[in-house]
Structure 1
Amino acid sequence: MRNHILRKNVTRKHVTLFTLVLLSVTGCARSVSWSEFSQHNDDANYCQSAYQETQDAEQCSIEYIAYQHAKSECQKAENPDYCVLLARHGWDNYKDIILNDKPTKEHAGIYPVFCSYKNDQLTLCSDL
Structure 2
Amino acid sequence: MWVRWLLVLQLCCFLSACASSKIYWRDIIREVGAASVSAKDDQLLLCTQLYQGETQVHQCRVEMTALFRARALCHADSTPDYCVRMAEYTWRHYKSHVLTEAPDIRHANTYPVMCGYQEKSVTPCKKIN
Amino acid at match of 2:22: S
Whole-Å separation in 2 of the counterparts to 1:23 and 1:91? 24
Aligned residue in 1 for 2:58: 58
- Counterpart of 2:29 (choices 25, 30, 38) is 38
Q: Which deviations, in whole Å up to 9, do the C-alpha atoms of 1:98-126 show, x marking residues without a partner? A: 11111111000111101122575421101
Aligned residue in 1 for 2:70: 70
Amino acid at match of 1:71: R
- Tell me the matched-pair count: 114
Whole-Å separation in 1 of the counterparts to 2:18 and 2:118? 40
TM-score between both structures, scaled by the size of structure 1: 0.73
Structure 2 unmatched runs, 5+: 38-42
Amino acid at match of 2:109: G
Whole-Å separation in 1 of the counterparts to 2:22 and 2:58? 12
Structure 1 residues 93 and 121, CA gap change in structure 2 (3 angstroms): farther
**What's the Cα RMSD here?**
2.7
Q: Which deviations, in whole Å up to 9, do the C-alpha atoms of 1:66-115 show, x marking residues without a partner? A: 00010111112111111101100010111111111111110001111011
Whole-Å separation in 2 of the counterparts to 1:58 and 1:80? 27
Maintained 8 Å contact 2:83/2:117: no
Whole-Å separation in 1 of the counterparts to 2:29 and 2:126? 23
Structure 1 unmatched runs, 5+: 1-5
Whole-Å separation in 2 of the counterparts to 1:84 and 1:23? 28
For residue 38 of structure 1, report the CA deviation from its aligned partner: 2.1
